Amino acid sequence: MKKNHGKIYGLGVGPGDPELITLKALNILKAVPVVFIPVSSEGKESYAFGIVERHLDLARQKRINLLFPMKRDQGTLVPYWENAVEEILRVAEQGIDSAFITEGDPFFYSTFIYLHARLLEKVPEDRLEIVPGVTSFCASASAAMFPIVNGEAKLAVLPAAYGKDHVEDALEKFDTVVFLKVHKSLPFLLDTIEKMGRGDKFVYVERCGAAGERIIRNAGELRKAQPNYFSLLIVKK
Ligand SMILES: C[S@@+](CC[C@H](N)C(=O)[O-])C[C@H]1O[C@@H](n2cnc3c(N)ncnc32)[C@H](O)[C@@H]1O
């Protein structure tokens, strides 16, 4: 490693509201010469970039898009993670500081986790810094005025895109269950929630804090909604 190796930040930029960025993330965001932006396909605007755009000075700061297609098979994503790590290292090795922005928190169901593991193999720990962000489920609970857990209550978080196996079990065992990535499994989730008598004990939040935010508490209404990828369900006992 060169002495003047640039610093690499994993920046959580919150769930959508540009004011829900920590002061620390904002200061770093404004200071770094290079910002890495995750995009799911060429030409498609990044949700995370939409959150930070107003805070950047693109005449002075360089944005570099990194492609991570939406695929369930993690194996097929390895070349994209490796390419991203190479790009990030190329900048750092020139002594330039950079930030990889991640929507919500970088260590909560984020692509950055895969990059972080690989970066740690190549970069000393003090050249890497993670700045936490407000997670989507915490922001959604606040937006919906739907407290998550307190006292002795137990919480589970499940990414609903990966199967139906644990849904009922989690709803039985935990006081509150947060389901992420619900957009393709909403009918099944709603059937299960209603079957278990929770039809009036949930909230659905979409694009929390961003343009087009929706909060739906009624199962009938939700069945008619066209859900967006940036949506989640919080269900209580
Ligand atoms: C890959 S995970 C990223 C989680 C993110 N790192 C966080 O801290 O919340 C993507 C899922 O998070 C949830 N999500 C992210 N942003 C959201 C938002 N603004 N409103 C509602 N749900 C959101 C959705 O369930 C989405 O499918």
pLDDT tens figures, 52-64: 999 999 999 999 9
Number of other CB atoms surrounding residue 187 within 10 Å: 11
Q: Which two tokens stand for residue 58?
A: 């693109």
Which pLDDT belongs to residue 124? Answer: 85
Q: Does residue 229 line the site of ligand 1, with CB under 6 A?
A: yes
Residue 1: inside a domain: no
Do the Cβ atoms of 54 and 173 come closer than 8 Å?
Answer: no
Ligand 1 center–CA 94 separation, angstroms = 33
Percent above pLDDT 70 for the chain: 99
Which pLDDT belongs to residue 20? Answer: 97
Ligand 1 center–CA 214 separation, angstroms = 14
Which pLDDT belongs to residue 162? Answer: 74
- Nearest protein Cα to ligand 1, atom 27: 181
Per-residue pLDDT, averaged over 77-106, amounts to 96
Q: Does residue 205 line the site of ligand 1, with CB under 6 A?
A: yes
The total number of structural domains that make up the chain: 2
**Among the three residues 110, 131, 152, which one is the final residue of a domain in this structure?**
131
Residue 76: inside a domain: yes
| Residue pLDDT, tens place only, 20-36 | 999 999 999 999 999 99
Domain span at residue 74 reads 8-131
Of 194, 191, 230, the C-alpha closest to 210 is: 230
Residue 2: inside a domain: no
Ligand 1 center–CA 18 separation, angstroms = 15
Residue 106: inside a domain: yes
Which pLDDT belongs to residue 142? Answer: 98
The rounded radius of gyration (Å) of the Cα atoms in the chain is 19
Q: Which two tokens stand for residue 63?
A: 């944005």
Of 85, 109, 74, 83, the C-alpha closest to 179 is: 109
Same domain, 118 and 159: no
Split at pLDDT 50, 70, 90, the class of 165 is confident
Same domain, 17 and 121: yes
Q: Does residue 230 line the site of ligand 1, with CB under 6 A?
A: yes
